[in-house]
Structure 1
Amino acid sequence: MITTIKGTPSYRPDIYTRDAILHPYPHYRRLRELGPVVWLPRHRVYALPRYAECKATLRDDATFGSTESVAMNPVSNRLSRGTTLASDGTEHDQRRKLVAHRLMPRALRSIAESVDAAAAAVVDSAIKRGTVDGVDDLATVLPLAIVPDLVGWPRDGREHLIAWGGATFDILGPLNRQAVKAIPRTLQMLRFARRVVRRRTVLEGSMAHELLAVADEGRLTHDDLPALMVDYIAPSLDTTISAISNALYLLATHPEQWELLKSDRTLLTSAVNEVVRVESPLRAFARGVRADTELGGVALPSGSRVLVIYASANRDELEWDDPETFDIRRDSGRHVGFGNGAHACAGQGLARLETTAMLNALLDRVDRIEVAGEPTWAVNNIIRRHHHLPVRLVGA
């Protein structure tokens, strides 16, 4: 039985209500003010709202494990078995190495030209229309044109990918209404992936095709493949859609930053990092405490759980000067928006490549980005991104 440690501050509001998901930052600020480790009685977990403790936890898999712990509820932890996200140690390393080499910078350079061309086509189409949805017409189109082919997802099963991918994240929160609603879609995606593996209908030359060959050689079981396919396609879509749509919104609402970027494209890398710092694609993941330990001066018992709040760490006043301000000149490379350590998002290089390609295409063709209506945020336990983002692209 997990009990709170005497003297540890508590925070009673539920940070997973609909309102808290849509407006998370006041909650995070209050958590950071309370201390480096804060007990959340509603979820029986120790929240880590500050940067130092988050990064230390992410870099210590021996003490803070993901197996059977990465989700905030036991149902999802069972469903996540077999993924790199929910594995540790040798098992995690072996699974990740099977296909992660395809997401390394050297491998991604081979597709950079096609990504740039796809981004240019997406922006050209949007400019002709004038006012578009920054999510559906820009941020989503590019990843959908790139990621499924790279992973090897069959072309006849892509119409549900966005909904399915969002669901695989939603179930990783507490077992609230959001998570319960997401379970059927998560199971649909997994069943589809199982059917793909059974029928061997993956795209030739893709990640999944390589995994099938590995399984045929006996280095992996065929039953492991569906979870790994889902493991790579869902994050590679959602993190990129988040990064691109958040970049559009932040540059539209901070026109001085857009002008700064137009005048100096050497700031592109830092601009992408700053977007991910200010609006982190991933809200938080849990970890299980494997042995008695101390964090931030607080003794944590074996068997307890911590919640690593990436989005709060990236706005920690102890780590960043004026953290609420969006400034592309800031050195934001140390953010934890894509995680850190062994479990850092394997698809982050692809997300950076696609986001940079989209920004370059916009810089080449667009004078101004304007918000053209009321944006709405998606309600998801884990992913932070817009649901709709009406924008007007004013051609250069």
Structure 2
Amino acid sequence: MTTITTPSDLDLFSDENLTDPYPAYRALRDEAPAVWLDRVGCWAVTRYDGVREVLGDWERFSAAQGVGMNDEVNTATQGTILASDPPLHDTLRGVLAESLSPRAIKSLSGSISEQAHRLVDSLVEDGGFDAIGQLARVFPPSIVADLIGFPQDVRPRLLPWGDGVFNALGPVNERMTSAMPLLQELYGWVYGIQGSDLTEGSMGRAVYDAADRGVIDHASAPQLLVAYTAAAMDTTINAIGSAVWLFSTHPEQWDAVRADRSLIPAAFNEVLRFESPVHVFTRVATRDLAIDGTPIGEGDRLMVLYASANRDERHFGDSADEFDVTRDASDQLAFGYGLHGCAGQGFARMEAHALFEAMADRIERFEPAGTPKRHLNNFVRGLETLPVTIRKA
């Protein structure tokens, strides 16, 4: 390991910093392009340019040794789509390329729009709702479960399993250790099923069909199912919950969206930038190198802090800590960048855009109806509850 020039004792995974990480992120950005964190034994890369550099160069910054922060989970996930480099990564990602193509996603837009309007219509009649429990944790899971083809009896376990996956990737703390039984339960189920247990014509069934054709190893099929399930739900759930929270606390921004529906794509990008649903993954340096002059040693692990990069005033200007739906945030990094950029981001955008459109049709104003409760997770950021009252359009 290289000589550490800027060590820090900061604990990014404390309850305090998980509740509000942005002051700590700013302090790290101001300290150096990369800061060694003694508590977790790796570098924190926090500035936009540095994060984009790491994500964009898999040959120097490898995912093949795991993208988490503990040896147990990193070892267990090696060779998965998250924890692999080319050529294996390209083979695994290619399995769902057809299912996630723009044409395939567009074919689902009508159905998803109908579901969004139906859900919002049911919620506005009561004059208020919990934007997490009745909206964010209802809309994406129902769509993803159908898309991947999960049997009905396992669907109630999908949300706990997804949350457990992201907690298990963290450092060895209480959240990580408490997630391990959930991870064991998830893997016990997924390694016990056959492709025929998933709905015919679904994305999940396509994974097992690819294994039967010899495109991928049969051992890779369960791992692909786990990766796409967790990524497709928790990130979208948290983004939708954050959107309602931001629109309730910034009513003028919701007014702007309702007045000009062409702002919906920009508004969702700004939600992703301002409250990135995934805060961190890691990479390992494959050689001695430097990030903007900070030396990194071969074998060093680096935390790639998406959420910090998306608040970096060096890139987004002095207003980086302001929520503005008219901002061009199309280059935000919440969905990653480069080789491991989120394969399903087009699908996530379609879900969110449909829901924004439905809410804009029926809801004139969101108003907080109590104190939101933050849901603490090692790798993803979201809310546990968000009570709101609404004024009908």
Shorter-chain TM-score: what band? over 0.9
Q: Distance in 2 between matches of 1:233 and 1:33?
A: 36
Structure 1, 110-119 or 94-103: larger mean CA deviation: 94-103
Match of 2:234 in 1: 238
The answer as to 2:392 corresponding to 1:385 is no
The answer as to 2:223 corresponding to 1:227 is yes
Match of 1:283 in 2: 279
The answer as to 2:102 corresponding to 1:102 is no
Structure 1, 211-220 or 159-168: larger mean CA deviation: 211-220
Q: Distance in 2 between matches of 1:334 and 1:217?
A: 38
Match of 2:251 in 1: 255
Deviation of the 1:129 alpha carbon: 2.0
The answer as to 2:341 corresponding to 1:349 is no
Match of 2:191 in 1: 194
Contact 1:282 1:382 survives alignment (8 Å): yes
The answer as to 2:296 corresponding to 1:310 is no
Q: Distance in 2 between matches of 1:68 and 1:153?
A: 30
Letter in 2 for 1:205: G
Contact 1:47 1:306 survives alignment (8 Å): yes
Contact 2:64 2:79 survives alignment (8 Å): no
Contact 2:66 2:75 survives alignment (8 Å): no
Q: Distance in 1 between matches of 2:342 and 2:98?
A: 13
Identity of aligned residues (%): 40
Match of 1:274 in 2: 270
Q: Distance in 2 between matches of 1:201 and 1:116?
A: 28
Deviation of the 1:374 alpha carbon: 0.5
Structure 1, 159-168 or 185-194: larger mean CA deviation: 185-194
Contact 2:2 2:297 survives alignment (8 Å): no
SS at match of 1:102: coil
Letter in 1 for 2:29: R
> Alpha-carbon deviations, 1:327-386, whole Å to 9, x = none?
011010001011110101112111111111111000011111111111011110011111
Deviation of the 1:178 alpha carbon: 0.6
> Alpha-carbon deviations, 1:22-69, whole Å to 9, x = none?
111111011011011111011111111100000010000000011123
Q: Distance in 2 between matches of 1:316 and 1:226?
A: 37
Structure 1, 220-229 or 330-339: larger mean CA deviation: 220-229
Contact 2:242 2:271 survives alignment (8 Å): yes
Contact 1:246 1:279 survives alignment (8 Å): yes
The answer as to 2:167 corresponding to 1:170 is yes
Letter in 1 for 2:255: E
Match of 2:31 in 1: 34
Q: Distance in 2 between matches of 1:24 and 1:101?
A: 38
Contact 1:82 1:228 survives alignment (8 Å): no
Structure 1, 212-221 or 323-332: larger mean CA deviation: 212-221
Match of 2:90 in 1: 93
* Corresponding residue to 2:203 among 204, 207, 213: 207
The answer as to 2:273 corresponding to 1:292 is no
Deviation of the 1:179 alpha carbon: 0.6
Deviation of the 1:3 alpha carbon: 5.1
Deviation of the 1:12 alpha carbon: 1.0
Q: Distance in 1 between matches of 2:389 and 2:298?
A: 53
Deviation of the 1:79 alpha carbon: 2.5
SS at match of 1:107: helix
Contact 1:68 1:74 survives alignment (8 Å): no
The answer as to 2:68 corresponding to 1:71 is yes
SS at match of 2:343: coil
Match of 1:121 in 2: 118
Instruction: Name the TM-score, length of structure 2 as normaliser.
Output: 0.97
Contact 1:368 1:395 survives alignment (8 Å): yes
Q: Distance in 2 between matches of 1:221 and 1:337?
A: 30
SS at match of 1:13: coil
SS at match of 2:295: strand
Q: Distance in 2 between matches of 1:190 and 1:94?
A: 22
Q: Distance in 2 between matches of 1:332 and 1:72?
A: 29
Contact 1:215 1:221 survives alignment (8 Å): yes
SS at match of 2:236: helix
* Equivalent residues, number: 392
Match of 1:24 in 2: 21
Q: Distance in 2 between matches of 1:338 and 1:221?
A: 27
Aligned-residue CA RMSD in angstroms? 1.2
Contact 1:118 1:145 survives alignment (8 Å): no
The answer as to 2:128 corresponding to 1:131 is yes
Q: Distance in 2 between matches of 1:188 and 1:393?
A: 39
**Is there any run of 5+ residues in structure 1 with no aligned partner, and where?**
none
* Corresponding residue to 2:214 among 210, 215, 218: 218
Contact 2:2 2:295 survives alignment (8 Å): no
Match of 2:7 in 1: 10
Instruction: Name the TM-score, length of structure 1 as normaliser.
Output: 0.97
Contact 1:126 1:393 survives alignment (8 Å): no
SS at match of 1:129: coil
